[in-house]
Amino acid sequence: MRLSQGHLTLLDYCPRRFQHTVLDSLMVPTNPDLLAGQRWGNRFHLMMQQREMGLPVEPVLAEDPELQAAVTALAAADPSLFEHHERFRQSEHGRALVLNGYWFTVIYDLLRLWDGQGEIIDWKTYLNPRNLNFLSRDWQTRLYCYVLVETTDLSPDQVTMTYWFVRTRDPVTQEQQPQRVQIPYSAQRHAQTHIDLLRLTDYLTQAMATSNPLPQIPETQVEKCAHCPFMMRCQRGSARGDETPELPPLEAIPEVVL
């Protein structure tokens, strides 16, 4: 079975949500505002990939002033992102690793390698940046760094994960002002991630070996169900009765590769 950081996030958060989303492939309605944000994000990622491949992006930028402004602001904030001085550099770079009977897959928005140093770049296109503490604990950071160390000769302290929130604006001038959050990796974090991956995969293997659905969050932690799209199905929180469940914010929706 293939697992991404989105799967790990779901499984860690609530096994039943993993069941509904991954094992049962249940669909939930998507908020139109979120869809518009996702479309912009897709355009940004595609444009950056085309640019890395040496394809002309000017026609795309000419038709999207916000995209143009985001790229201009990013180049001003860190010109090295648009230079090519690395030993290896590739956008949409995929890697995979087998551990404990599962395939772990990652796709880096941009991977930069120098001798004895590696940097994973991730473009974030939603409006509200996450802080260092949140991102350090996030499964995306943990899995992305773990896989890079396990599949290269880099040691953990030679790896960095950098998030660029490319759509943020200066609160006063409202001009595009991308924000960077850089997270250094370490041997201690690598060891802890290894332990947690084994814990989650052992749990999943045992849970799927039974004919029962994976368990819900305990009643004592029902507040964690507050923004879950499966509240009604699980009869949790304010979704009991006829109320429509609130959809989660865009950034709360993990990437799930089915």
Give the footprint of ligand SF4 on this chain (CB under 6 A): 14, 16-17, 20, 216-217, 224-225, 228, 230-231, 234, 236
CA angle 139, 239, 130 (to 5 degrees): 30
C-beta of 11: minimal distance to ligand SF4 in Å?
11
**61 DSSP 8-state letter:** H
CA angle 40, 45, 46 (to 5 degrees): 95
Cα separation of 199 and 100, whole Å? Answer: 10
Kindly tell me which of 55 and 208 has the beta carbon lying closer to ligand SF4.
208
C-beta of 220: minimal distance to ligand SF4 in Å?
12
**10 Å Cβ neighbour count for 159?**
23
Cα separation of 63 and 53, whole Å? Answer: 20
C-beta of 20: minimal distance to ligand SF4 in Å?
6
**Amino acid at residue number 163:** Y
Kindly tell me which of 180 and 224 has the beta carbon lying closer to ligand SF4.
224
C-beta of 200: minimal distance to ligand SF4 in Å?
16
Kindly tell me which of 21 and 176 has the beta carbon lying closer to ligand SF4.
21
**The two structure tokens encoding residue 14:** 């609530």
Angle (deg, nearest 10), helices 5-13 and 139-151: 130
**The two structure tokens encoding residue 40:** 């912009």
Kindly tell me which of 161 and 217 has the beta carbon lying closer to ligand SF4.
217
Kindly tell me which of 42 and 238 has the beta carbon lying closer to ligand SF4.
238
Kindly tell me which of 12 and 86 has the beta carbon lying closer to ligand SF4.
12
Pairing of strands 88-99, 2-3: unpaired
C-beta of 227: minimal distance to ligand SF4 in Å?
9
C-beta of 17: minimal distance to ligand SF4 in Å?
4
Cα separation of 166 and 182, whole Å? Answer: 14
